[in-house]
Amino acid sequence: MATTERVAVLDHGYIEAIENWGSDERIIEAARMSTGKGFKGWGRLVCSCGAISQSARFTDSALASETPRPRPFIDDKMTVCPTERGGRHVTDGLPTDGDERLLRFLWENKHQTPFEMAGLTIEVQAPIFVFREWHRHRVPFGYNEMSARYTPLPDVNYIPSLERLLVGSDGKNRQAGTVAGAEAIDEQKARDFQAALMRIYSDAEHIYQAALTMGVPKELARVHLPVGRYSRMRATSNLRGWLGFLALRMAPGAQWEIRQYANAVGALIADRFPRTWALFAEGTGR
């Protein structure tokens, strides 16, 4: 069962799971439609102490016919196993027999349509400039964003941390590079920039509220608002789309801010589709 529902991002942002559908098992079922065999069961997990996974006992027909052993069960997370003395130790590894082998084959050989049978809908609060990058990912995504044409935007704005502002000071990060001839930023200059941002945000909000009060249409009262202001949206896609998004936006070359949101989406996916996520995390099939 999924336990990760909401992940805080940046200073005022978040990713929240709204709905998910499908599962690792449904991906296998979709892949086997051509043969009509359906989901057979994940391969058994055997520890060096002789324990076998409880989940394998109930899903693997071959294993279910075996005589039960007087051994403890490996837990469903398949990472640790209780010993007969009541302790716990790490298992030696995960075999890939059963449908785990098929899932790996699908992923590594880019048989992608079965991964369209599962997906996730999320709500996101992020700075507008993050959304402008995010919305470049079109098919198979669906978006609906809060609109300042219809409702006033909340006065919530992004202030980069000192660490974020100083990240490009060593000149090694090309994506965080400065313009030619720029001075080297230090902590005091970073603090000055933060203070300037806060003044700009305050002035922008004052003008915005004044424009609304004097009767300027909402769709025009917003035209001066900075892209550092937070907005909200719903986003939905199948698993194939999300993993394609993450392959690009979790990469070191992506802007740091959208990487934090991608990492949060990854946490939601890992919680709901753990076997597919494990393959993605290996870096295969990208």
**Percent share of the chain, pLDDT over 70:** 74
Mean pLDDT of the chain: 81
Q: Nearest 5°: phi and psi at 26?
A: -65, -30
Specify the pLDDT at position 74: 44
- For residue 130, the 8-state DSSP code is H
Indicate whether 194 pLDDT > 80: yes
Least confident interval from 60-64, 101-105, 145-149 = 60-64
100 vs 76: which has the higher pLDDT: 100
The residues, ordered by sequence, that sit 6+ positions from 211 with a Cβ below 8 Å of its Cβ are: 220, 221
Of 256 and 77, more confident: 256
pLDDT of residue 51: 59
pLDDT-derived band at 62 (thresholds 50, 70, 90) equals very low
User: Buried b / exposed e across 3-22, counting CB within 10 Å, b at 16+?
Assistant: eeeebebbeebbbbbeebeb
pLDDT band at residue 88 using 50, 70 and 90 as cut-offs:
very low
Is the pLDDT assigned to residue 76 strictly greater than 90?
no
pLDDT at 67 over 70: no
Q: Which residue has the higher pLDDT, 62 or 161?
A: 161
CB of 263 within 8 A of CB of 15?
no
- CA–CA separation, 234 vs 144, rounded Å? 5
Give the tens place of pLDDT for each residue, 94-131.
444 578 888 888 898 889 899 999 999 999 999 999 99
Q: What is the pLDDT of residue 167?
A: 80
User: Can you give the pLDDT at residue 214?
Assistant: 96
Chain segment 154-186, per-residue pLDDT in tens = 999 999 999 999 886 555 556 667 777 778 889
Residue 85 clears pLDDT 50, i.e. is over it: no
How confident is the model at residue 42, as a pLDDT?
73
SS3 125: strand
Q: What is the pLDDT of residue 1?
A: 60
Q: Tokens for 273?
A: 């589709």
CB 201 within 8 A of CB 157: yes
Q: Where are the domains of the chain?
A: 44-95, 161-171+185-226
Q: Flag whether pLDDT at 260 surpasses 80.
A: yes
12/181: higher pLDDT: 12
How confident is the model at residue 80, as a pLDDT?
54
15: nearest Cα among 212, 278, 268: 268
pLDDT (average), residues 204-223:
95
Active site amino acids: 249
